[in-house]
């Protein structure tokens, strides 16, 4: 176990910080020390209090108890502007860019360069381009943010935080929507910050990267810091045990029911085509089967899923249980018993201002499949309560607005909402992003359970160990086409990567 770090080089210290929101005690007692020139990672389950702690450090929330010290002197932060003046920058977990503005307008939203009273557009574009180039981010400054992918938006968000000189850079799950390529850009940025002597506070649920980039790791549980460890003194298994408070022998639940591929298939897709998006897509998923979709970013996976969900008009045929469907809108897809867990919960999944209960019962309302629920608040409540217990969603009550939940718990609500509908086909697009290891296991177990009950499942994921462990078959997309159909039994990661990149098989 790591002792007290050497006092030299400590820039920031938190001592017994506490914070409540009404009756919810988000932080009980958090202490840790941050040293210059290091990456300090906060690790903990969904709802452990990581984002709350970071928001206190960034001046967004005021703590109810405890102390903050900057360079050994008591620090009181009166708002985010105050934190910025002290050289503390933050990249929030939820993106905050204005989608209707350009990249550069977002980068300089708080402090555009001026000439006289006017904004100096030319200077702003030049400075914006220089910043992006320095960070190794290849995005045009004039591009409207609405046209960027989630990953690109995340990179712009990071650039925005770094657009001012800062000694302490806080990043709350910056990689949750990044692919490997963009994550590499981020890790280069972090390495540079550290080399310049700045301190980085980092949050992520991806243990491999935590083990790769951290110098020190503080584990949080239920609003308290449990311990701080030097990276060299620990390993992923120990960290998991500290985080969830028990040992986890298996990360993936095994298949318990033998798969029988009946005919006709639950879902059959024939010759699906959409110019510029995907070409000649043919595949089938059987009742009870879990089919993985793997591909590099831009391979076309999400577009195919959007087409299934009725978002595009395209050529080809979609059949369920042998019957051809006409899918003109998401409502059509839902009415046919399809459910979709998407990666962008803000735009496609949740109504943040509404209660947990309302969000979970929402699909029933739209699908019209369970009209009875609408007139039966007790049933609606029972349904919501059941999902909350099953997925271990941390909430103060079913009435709580979803917007108040921690990021990972919001993702669990998205899940609960679709599961409540008992779908015939469940499409999961990156379902475990931002979800802690313990809750991941619960979600995997639920997927298995649904499959055992006859749901056909499509699992789209960039997490290769995850798709390999969970799927019966794996379909690989490359360059907008389905290039391989692989049985997952005995399949190796290297082989899948070779199919996805078009490299020669190892």
Ligand X SMILES: Nc1ncnc2c1ncn2[C@@H]1O[C@H](COP(=O)(O)OP(=O)(O)OP(=O)(O)O)[C@@H](O)[C@H]1O
Return residues touching Mg ion (CB under 5 A).
50-51, 93, 406-407
Footprint on residues 38-97 left by ligand X (CB under 6 A) = 44, 46-52, 93
**Of residues 53 and 468, the one with the C-beta less far from ligand X:** 53
Assess 349 for contact with ligand X (CB under 6 A): no
**Run of H or E including 500:** helix 493-501
The nearest distance, CB 208 to Mg ion, in angstroms, is 19
Assess 431 for contact with ligand X (CB under 6 A): no
**Of residues 50 and 336, the one with the C-beta less far from Mg ion:** 50
Binding at 455: pick from ligand X, Mg ion, none (beta carbon under 5-8 Å per type): none
Q: Which residue has the tokens 């110098």?
A: 215
Nearest residue to Mg ion, using CB?
A: 51
The secondary structure of 286-317 as a DSSP string is: -TT-EEEEE--TTSSHHHHHHHHTT-S--EEE
**Of residues 52 and 302, the one with the C-beta less far from ligand X:** 52
Q: 180: closest CA among 148, 214, 212, 203?
A: 212
Cis peptide bond upstream of 264, omega within 30: yes
The nearest distance, CB 168 to ligand X, in angstroms, is 18
* Cβ neighbours around 129 below 10 Å, total: 17
In 3-state terms, what secondary structure has residue 177?
coil
Assess 218 for contact with ligand X (CB under 6 A): no
204, 409, 455, 461: which one contacts ligand X (CB under 6 A)? 409
User: Could you tell me how far CA 371 lies from the centroid of its own chain?
Assistant: 32
Cα 89-94-99 angle, rounded to 5 deg: 95
How far apart CA 390 and CA 354 sit, in angstroms, is 21
**Of residues 92 and 160, the one with the C-beta less far from ligand X:** 92
Cα 438-420-452 angle, rounded to 5 deg: 70
The nearest distance, CB 60 to Mg ion, in angstroms, is 13
- Residue-level length of the chain: 506
Beta pairing, strands 425-429 & 456-460: parallel
Assess 152 for contact with ligand X (CB under 6 A): no
Assess 176 for contact with ligand X (CB under 6 A): no
228, 406, 461, 471: which one contacts ligand X (CB under 6 A)? 406
**Of residues 46 and 141, the one with the C-beta less far from ligand X:** 46
- Burial of residue 348 (CB within 10 Å: 0-12, 13-18, 19+) is middle
The nearest distance, CB 269 to Mg ion, in angstroms, is 37
Q: Which residue has the tokens 């809750």?
A: 439
The nearest distance, CB 406 to ligand X, in angstroms, is 3
The nearest distance, CB 35 to Mg ion, in angstroms, is 23
List, in sequence order, every residue forming a beta bridge with 219; answer none if it has no partner.
Answer: 43, 227
**Of residues 135 and 443, the one with the C-beta less far from ligand X:** 443
Assess 174 for contact with ligand X (CB under 6 A): no
The nearest distance, CB 135 to ligand X, in angstroms, is 25
How far apart CA 103 and CA 117 sit, in angstroms, is 22
Binding at 431: pick from Mg ion, ligand X, none (beta carbon under 5-8 Å per type): none
Nearest residue to ligand X, using CB?
A: 408
How far apart CA 269 and CA 22 sit, in angstroms, is 50
Footprint on residues 9-38 left by ligand X (CB under 6 A) = 21, 24, 26
Size of the site for ligand X (CB under 6 A): 19
Phi first, then psi, for residue 388 (nearest 5°) are -60, -40
Write each residue from 364 to 403 as x if it is in contact with ligand X (CB under 6 A), else as -, in one continuous string: ------------------------------x---------
Beta pairing, strands 73-74 & 65-70: antiparallel
**Of residues 29 and 495, the one with the C-beta less far from ligand X:** 29
Query: Would you tell me which residues interact with ligand X (CB under 6 A)?
Result: 21, 24, 26, 44, 46-52, 93, 394, 404-409
């Amino acid at each position: 176990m790591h002792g007290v770090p050497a006092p030299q080089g400590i820039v920031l210290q938190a001592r017994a910080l506490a914070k409540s929101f009404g009756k919810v005690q988000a932080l009980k007692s958090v202490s840790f020390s941050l040293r210059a020139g290091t990456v300090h990672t906060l690790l903990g389950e969904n709802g452990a209090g990581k984002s709350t702690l970071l928001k206190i450090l960034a001046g967004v929330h005021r703590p109810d108890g405890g102390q903050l010290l900057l360079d050994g002197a008591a620090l009181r932060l009166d708002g985010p502007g105050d934190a910025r003046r002290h050289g503390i920058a933050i990249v929030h977990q939820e993106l905050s860019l204005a989608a209707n503005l350009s990249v550069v307008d977002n980068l300089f939203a708080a402090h555009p360069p001026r000439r006289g009273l006017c904004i100096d557009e030319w200077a702003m574009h030049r400075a914006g381009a220089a910043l992006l180039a320095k960070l190794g981010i290849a995005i045009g400054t004039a591009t409207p943010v609405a046209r960027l992918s989630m990953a690109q938006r995340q990179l712009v968000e990071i650039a925005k935080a770094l657009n001012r000189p800062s000694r302490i850079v806080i990043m709350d799950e910056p990689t949750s929507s990044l692919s490997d390529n963009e994550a590499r850009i981020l890790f280069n940025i972090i390495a540079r910050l550290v080399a310049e002597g700045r301190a980085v506070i980092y949050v992520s649920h991806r243990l491999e990267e935590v083990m790769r980039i951290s110098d020190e790791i503080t584990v949080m549980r239920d609003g308290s810091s449990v311990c701080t460890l030097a990276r060299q003194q620990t390993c992923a298994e120990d960290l998991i045990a500290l985080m969830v408070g028990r040992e986890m022998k298996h990360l993936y639940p095994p298949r318990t029911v033998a798969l029988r591929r009946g005919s006709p298939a639950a879902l059959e897709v024939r010759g699906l085509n959409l110019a510029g998006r995907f070409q000649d897509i043919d595949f089938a998923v059987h009742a009870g089967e879990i089919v993985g979709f793997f591909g590099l970013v831009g391979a076309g996976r999400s577009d195919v899923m959007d087409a299934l969900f009725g978002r595009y008009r395209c050529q080809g045929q979609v059949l369920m249980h042998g019957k051809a469907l006409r899918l003109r809108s998401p409502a059509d897809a839902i009415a046919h018993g399809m459910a979709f867990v998407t990666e962008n919960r803000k735009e496609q999944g949740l109504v943040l201002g509404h209660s947990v209960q309302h969000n979970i019962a929402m699909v029933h309302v739209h699908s019209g499949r369970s009209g009875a629920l609408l007139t039966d608040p007790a049933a609606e409540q029972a349904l919501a309560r059941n999902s909350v217990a099953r997925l271990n969603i941390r909430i103060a009550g079913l009435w709580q607005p979803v917007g108040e939940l921690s990021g990972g718990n919001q993702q669990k609500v998205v899940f609960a909402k679709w599961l409540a509908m008992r779908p015939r086909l469940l499409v999961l697009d990156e379902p475990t992003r931002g979800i802690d290891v313990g809750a991941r296991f619960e979600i995997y177990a639920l997927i298995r359970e649904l499959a055992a009950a006859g749901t056909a499942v499509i699992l789209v994921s960039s997490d290769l160990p995850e798709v390999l462990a969970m799927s019966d078959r794996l379909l690989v997309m490359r360059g907008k086409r389905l290039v391989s159909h692989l049985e997952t039994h005995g399949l190796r990661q290297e082989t899948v990567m070779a199919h996805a990149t078009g490299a020669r098989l190892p």
